Each structure stands twice: as structure tokens, then as C-alpha cells.
Amino acid sequence: MTDYSTRFGLLPISDAQVWHCVAPLPGFAELQRFTLLHVQEQGPFVWLQSLDEPLIAFLLVAPEHFGLHYPQRPQFAAQATDGISMVMVILPQKTNDSLQANALAPLYFLPHTRQFGQWIVEHAEPSLTNISEAQTPPATLGVPIIQLGLARRDSTTASPLAIGAA
């Protein structure tokens, strides 16, 4: 167990909870180690927290939350059979704006190897099911998600899903 500084404070994180970026995020190529954090009160959303730079964290959700589906796999995961796609959430910058997804640059997670990467797609297909109203992250992401409650956060910080909070 190693203590890491995160946007949620100092957290003990085991090697089994560290994800390695095998297809770097554009603009963040130097960031290689991440962990997934789930704040229980935030429903299906998870934070992809950099362990290399404590101020960097990306909000993710299953693509089905936005009615998206990715039948293809990225090249770095061509041999994988157990991957799961997630999309970055774009937080609203104005009061009347809504959440949006970075639909053309999903992330693909390989739970058995704790690796992930981002890839660019030409289009995202609509999901065959209704927009997901799940209140928890996908169970297929598995054990390496660290569960947090809002009580861990500094009481002076606004809600983490507030406008422009990412």
C-alpha cells in the first residue's frame, strides 16, 4: 500500500488498484499510472485519477449512460475478450448546460491486466438499449475501483459534479 495525493486527499492505494495507460491520453502522454475512484453519492460516475499528477482527474461513465455503444475494439486491445468502454464526461460550464460525453474518444479498460487506453473512433453507434439509468459504475470494471463517500472530501469543496469542477 502506498499513499498518493489525489483531488480527494491522501489515499492509500495498493498495486492491485493501479491502472496503467498503454495508449496515452492526448495532451497527457507523461501520465502513465491511474486509479479509479467511485464516490458513492455520484451514481454511475467514476474518477480516473492520475497517480503521477494529483491535480489531474477525469470523470468517466459507461457509454450507455449517453445512449452510446462501441462494437469495435482499439488496436491495443485486439486480442482482449474482457474489455470495457468508458467515455469522458464533459462538465457544463454554464448553469443551463448539460453533461456531455467525449463520444469520439472513448477509453477502453482491460480489467485482467489493469491496463487502459484512449482511442479515436469515426462515430459512436447508438446503444440498442435505452439510455442507462444505472446508479453504479459497471461491475465489469471489477475490484480495482476505490470506493469513497463524500465525507472524505474537504467540507469547503463544492459538489464534485458542480459546474466546471473537473
Q: Distance of alpha carbon 105 from its chain centroid, rounded?
A: 12
Whether residue 37 is contained in a domain is answered as yes
The CATH code of the domain that includes 117 is 2.30.290.10
- The one-character DSSP state at 128 is S
Whether residue 162 is contained in a domain is answered as no
Whether residue 38 is contained in a domain is answered as yes
Whether residue 97 is contained in a domain is answered as yes
According to DSSP, the residues that pair with 59 across neighbouring strands are 47
Q: Name the residue range of residue 120's domain.
A: 2-152
Report pLDDT digits (tens) over 62-95: 998 888 988 888 888 878 778 899 999 998 888 8
| pLDDT beyond 60 at 14 | yes
| pLDDT beyond 80 at 158 | no
Count structural domains, the chain.
1
Cβ atoms of 54 and 39 within 8 Å: the answer is no
Please give the torsion angle defined by the CA atoms of residues 51, 61, 161 and 15, in that order, rounded to the nearest 10 degrees: -20
